[in-house]
């Protein structure tokens, strides 16, 4: 693969002074076909894509191991560094996972190329090592099922990547590509984008936005019917229309008074957005689009039936109803493709830290930590770690209330001592 060219294209995009959602090169690098960029300009669609992509990007990946003593934080290795520190020389994990989710939602599938190779170990061969991780633009990837054994493995999945620069084709095995998809998959192999289901709804929302933009350009003035006496040729009619259109349309002409010649009458063609229920229909379309993505009303700035406490509940519902599925799907693919069979057998696994999007206010957080420490759920040092404080000597001991006793011993404290019954 022309890795050098790809790195140059990505570097040119990422090092710009400013980035825009309408930047054609940025959209192309992220894998979003510029022919579909009109969808990105629809505010509800854009907001839903932004919410889902940023949510994946903001949650750090943690490395754990299941042991006989329970789950513990595992010591990081080179693969962990790729997932949590730097997947490749020009991307952060936040950038990579955000772009993958954006491709996944817009195209139905997101792909990450696992670039690896043999690393010499002495003079007798070497060990396979993962070198870096790269985003594959979804619009240039085709999933192939080898039904007849053309590549030597009948029934195996391969990924064909078409380089956008020179058109050269590359074939990757399933183990070399992490494949993430949406929930909408009829064959279980590839996903379908939400925009395919909501094509008419998103299209209607775009048309309503264009209508409002046109109305603002006209200075919020309605069209007019021009009545005149006599007979004018087409050329004079066009000049007359252009003359009054220039003087009456546009924000700069709002509220102006202009003279009208005798025999000429301008009659506004009134239109009422209220009578047409324009804003109600626009709001309804926005809720439909957000609902299809699993986005809650308050996340698209609809607070009609929300309060502060209700918004916090909706955030928790967003994690459970929408993100829990996506996080589980990401974790399953990462653990299968990034861990060796021995690592998996030894209980190692990666997990997104969903608590990153469930931050509460300081008072509630401290109360919860205090309850956890007092009831023996957290040690003092574990609670301090949540507050980014260093560990202290003696802080690794669980503490509980001394008045507590096991349930099977309840009542025994009231029994007298054994013997003849004397004091």
Question: What is the tally of structural domains in the chain?
Answer: 2
The model's pLDDT over 303-354, given as tens digits with 9 standing for 90+, comes to 666 655 556 677 788 888 889 999 999 999 999 999 999 999 999 999 998 8
* Bridge partners of residue 157, in order along the sequence: 145
369 falls within a domain: yes
Tell me the average pLDDT across 130-159: 84
Residues 98, 123: contact at Cβ < 8 Å? no
63 falls within a domain: no
101 falls within a domain: no
Note the pTM of the prediction, 2 decimals.
0.68
36 pLDDT more than 80: no
Q: Identify whether residues 317 and 403 lie together within a single domain.
A: yes
- The continuous run of DSSP H or E covering 128 comes out as strand 126-136
Q: Identify whether residues 327 and 403 lie together within a single domain.
A: yes
Q: Identify whether residues 331 and 259 lie together within a single domain.
A: no
Rounded to whole angstroms, how far apart are CA atoms 96 and 99?
A: 5
Q: Which of 119-128, 174-183, 230-239 has the lowest mean pLDDT?
A: 119-128
Q: Identify whether residues 321 and 381 lie together within a single domain.
A: yes
Q: Identify whether residues 333 and 385 lie together within a single domain.
A: yes
- CA angle 137-96-60, nearest 5°? 150
Q: Identify whether residues 325 and 402 lie together within a single domain.
A: yes
45 pLDDT more than 70: yes
259 falls within a domain: yes
Rounded to whole angstroms, how far apart are CA atoms 269 and 254?
A: 16
pLDDT at position 215: 58
Tell me how far the alpha carbon of residue 228 is from its chain's centroid. Answer: 58
39 falls within a domain: no
Rounded to whole angstroms, how far apart are CA atoms 287 and 255?
A: 36
Sign of CA dihedral 409, 411, 416, 421: negative
126 falls within a domain: no
Q: Identify whether residues 331 and 402 lie together within a single domain.
A: yes
Rounded to whole angstroms, how far apart are CA atoms 9 and 27?
A: 12
62 falls within a domain: no
The model's pLDDT over 59-95, given as tens digits with 9 standing for 90+, comes to 999 999 998 888 888 999 999 999 999 999 999 999 9
Smallest Cα–Cα separation from 347: which of 75, 69, 84, 64?
64
The model's pLDDT over 186-207, given as tens digits with 9 standing for 90+, comes to 888 999 888 777 765 555 555 6
Smallest Cα–Cα separation from 333: which of 114, 139, 136?
114
49: burial class by Cβ within 10 Å (0-12, 13-18, 19+)? buried
Beta strands, E only, 229-304 = 264-268
Q: Identify whether residues 310 and 398 lie together within a single domain.
A: yes
311 falls within a domain: yes
Sole residue written with tokens 């009545």:
227
Rounded to whole angstroms, how far apart are CA atoms 159 and 414?
A: 72
Structural domain for 246, as ranges? 223-269
Q: Which of 37-51, 148-162, 226-240, 283-297 has the lowest mean pLDDT?
A: 226-240
> Considering 213, 248, 269, which residue would you say is the last residue of a domain?
269
Q: Identify whether residues 264 and 311 lie together within a single domain.
A: no
pLDDT at position 287: 77
Q: Identify whether residues 262 and 310 lie together within a single domain.
A: no
276 pLDDT more than 50: no
Q: Identify whether residues 327 and 242 lie together within a single domain.
A: no
* Bridge partners of residue 395, in order along the sequence: none
Q: Identify whether residues 233 and 323 lie together within a single domain.
A: no
């Amino acid at each position: 693969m022309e890795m050098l060219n790809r790195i140059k294209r990505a570097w040119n995009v990422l090092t710009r002074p400013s980035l825009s959602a309408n930047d054609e090169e940025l959209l192309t690098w992220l894998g979003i076909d510029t022919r579909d960029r009109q969808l990105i300009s629809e505010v509800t669609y854009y907001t839903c894509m932004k919410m889902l992509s940023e949510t994946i990007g903001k949650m750090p990946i943690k490395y754990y191991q299941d042991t006989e003593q329970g789950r513990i934080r595992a010591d990081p290795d080179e693969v962990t560094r790729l997932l949590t520190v730097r997947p490749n020389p020009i991307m952060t994990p936040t950038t990579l996972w955000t772009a993958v989710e954006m491709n996944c939602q817009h195209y139905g599938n997101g792909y990450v190329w696992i670039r690896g190779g043999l690393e010499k170990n002495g003079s007798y061969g070497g060990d396979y090592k993962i070198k870096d991780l790269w985003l594959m633009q979804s619009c240039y990837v085709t999933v192939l099922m080898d039904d007849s054994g053309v590549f030597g493995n009948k029934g195996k999945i391969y990924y064909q990547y078409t380089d956008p620069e020179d058109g050269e084709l590359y074939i990757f095995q399933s183990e070399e590509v992490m494949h993430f998809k949406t929930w909408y998959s009829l064959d279980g192999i590839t996903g379908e984008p939400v925009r395919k289901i909501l094509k008419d709804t998103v299209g209607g929302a775009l048309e309503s936005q264009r209508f409002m933009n046109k109305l603002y350009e006209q200075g919020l003035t309605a069209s007019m019917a021009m009545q005149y006496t006599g007979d004018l040729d087409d050329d004079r009619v066009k000049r007359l229309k252009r003359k009054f259109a220039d003087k009456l349309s546009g924000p700069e002409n709002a509220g102006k008074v202009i003279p009208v010649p005798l025999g000429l009458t301008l009659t506004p063609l009134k239109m009422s957005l209220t009578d047409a229920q324009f804003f109600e229909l626009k709001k309804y379309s926005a809720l439909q689009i957000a609902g299809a993505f699993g986005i809650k009303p308050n996340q698209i700035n609809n607070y009609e039936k929300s309060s502060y406490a209700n918004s916090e509940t909706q955030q928790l519902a967003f994690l459970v109803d929408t993100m829990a599925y996506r996080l589980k799907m990401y974790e399953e693919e990462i653990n299968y493709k990034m861990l060796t069979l021995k690592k998996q057998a030894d209980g190692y696994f990666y997990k997104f830290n969903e608590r990153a999007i469930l931050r509460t206010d300081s008072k509630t957080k401290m109360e919860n930590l205090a309850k956890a420490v007092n009831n023996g759920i957290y040690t003092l040092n574990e609670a301090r770690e949540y507050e980014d404080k260093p560990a202290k000597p003696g802080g690794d001991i669980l503490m509980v209330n001394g008045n507590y006793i096991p349930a099977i011993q309840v009542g025994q404290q009231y029994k007298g001592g054994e013997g003849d019954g004397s004091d």
